[in-house]
Amino acid sequence: MAGLMCLSLWGSNFTNIGAGEYQAPPANYRVTLVNQSLASVSDEWISERKQAIWIGRIGMLDQMPSSIPQTMVYPIYDQKISEQAFAKRYLLLPDSVPGFNKTAYNTDFGDLRLFVLNGSRLTDQRQWEWLEQESQKQDKKKFQLLFVDGNLNASMWERLRKMQVDAVFNKDQLYVQSTRVKAVSTDWDDRKDGWGEWQGTNIRSFEIMGSEDHLSIQAESPSGAIMQKVVFHPLSEQNQKKKDQPLITYGSVWQYRLGDESIPITVPTNIDLTGEHPITERVHLPVSDWRHRKFIADEWNKGRAPIGSKVASTVMKWVQTPIPAERTPSAYFRQSFIVTDPKKLQGLRLHVTFADGFVAYLNGEEVERDGIKPGLTVPESLAVANEPTFQRDYIITKHLNKLVSGTNTLTIEVHKSHPHAKEMIFDAAIIAETKEK
């Protein structure tokens, strides 16, 4: 029985190499986000941050050494005291949002713009309207960091992404916009909304260091060990306009076949089949595996996308190539494209139309999945019941290293939520971003 299985999973880290090796220019400015009591820190630790500005929740700042002038300290409102008491204690803060008693404000420092929100009033639109206005007021591009002690919902994350906030700090959690990150040192949960999320435990401080247009953030333990380091793309690179280069367009002709036990699938030995742990190593499949770049699929069918089951009364009427999808829970698709020089690419986006779930592979390595459980998938695997999804975008820039010069292959398996479900649809595009000359 030819290999019955398939792999899976979710590689959840940015370019996971290089952060430790990256040599940023010496820091011209430094912000220390205090996350724990500083009662036991040494004088040396404090003096290293003589030129820094300090930020933290009120409870943490209460124990700041007296040698640090209050003008260098920026508090995050954490409801330990009333807003009125907060305004009285921190007289020097700007009164940015009417009615918020100085609990929401911003300040510029070097190439940084720091925003502090009142986490107990996140649903109050006045705070968001102010934030949107302020984020647009920039003579030159700055890194934008946001500090909050509260729960952000999905629409708030989307607003922050559109405002081009680079990073958000919330207690032990650090969030960064995936596209802004050049490298991270430890595993990262790369969310589907464009944000990367990292949570540490027992973090003493986040050290935010920058010079000219460089920025890095590192989380430090009480012993001074670096638990996480994030290096951002320089501002000068971010300011460069990017140009889209379609590698595969919607409506392309794909090789395809229905899924059954004869599809040649190899289960790699170095991945977690349950899908609970991210793929941290490169996956190397044999040429005989259907996902391999050089797999010979001459016997597969060819058809123009959208490919699926044509049901006249539904959105499936747009299907260009009908397939008898009612016979099987899954279908498999292959498409090749040329990349002259992957090193010149700055970003990579995948766009997929699907029902009900899919797993996508770039040159045999998983790059994205949606609507289907993580871990091993087989041709018989069933997706989560979904309405058909049209042209959903996925940022897969972190997988640029999976491209090779010459011919590359995007392979996608689509699964229905029930073996007898009538609706199956598939189309996909892949777009590279290059620097505009």
Q: Which is nearer to other proteins, 4 or 122 (CB)?
A: 4
Q: Which is nearer to other proteins, 117 or 424 (CB)?
A: 424
How far from 170 is each of 153, 261, 336, 415, CA to CA, in Å? Answer: 13, 47, 42, 37
- For other proteins, which stretch binds (CB under 8 A), given 138-146, 204-212, 271-279, 304-312? 271-279
Q: Which is nearer to other proteins, 96 or 328 (CB)?
A: 328
- Compute the least distance from the CB of residue 413 to other proteins, in Å: 13
The C-alpha atoms of residue 69 and residue 67 are separated, in whole angstroms, by: 6
Do 308 and 423 meet the contact criterion of CB atoms below 8 Å apart?
yes
For residue 329, state whether it binds other proteins (rule: CB under 8 A): yes
- Binding residues for other proteins, rule CB under 8 A, total 24
Angle formed at CA 9 by CA 8 and CA 15, multiple of 5 degrees? 125
How far from 242 is each of 93, 238, 245, CA to CA, in Å? Answer: 38, 9, 9
- Compute the least distance from the CB of residue 267 to other proteins, in Å: 7
- Compute the least distance from the CB of residue 357 to other proteins, in Å: 10
How far from 111 is each of 73, 124, 212, 214, 306, CA to CA, in Å? Answer: 18, 29, 7, 9, 46
For residue 428, state whether it binds other proteins (rule: CB under 8 A): no
The C-alpha atoms of residue 150 and residue 157 are separated, in whole angstroms, by: 13
Residues 278, 364, 371, 375: which binds other proteins (CB under 8 A)? 375
How many residues would you count in the chain? 437
Element holding 199 (H helix, E strand): strand 195-199
The C-alpha atoms of residue 64 and residue 53 are separated, in whole angstroms, by: 12
For residue 420, state whether it binds other proteins (rule: CB under 8 A): yes
- For other proteins, which stretch binds (CB under 8 A), given 2-10, 79-87, 124-132, 314-322? 2-10
For residue 273, state whether it binds other proteins (rule: CB under 8 A): yes
- Compute the least distance from the CB of residue 348 to other proteins, in Å: 28
The C-alpha atoms of residue 402 and residue 16 are separated, in whole angstroms, by: 13
Residues 51, 88, 419, 436: which binds other proteins (CB under 8 A)? 419
Q: Which is nearer to other proteins, 248 or 273 (CB)?
A: 273
For residue 267, state whether it binds other proteins (rule: CB under 8 A): yes
Catalog residues that contact other proteins under the rule CB under 8 A. Answer: 1, 4-5, 8, 260-261, 267, 273-276, 328-329, 373, 375-378, 380-382, 418-420
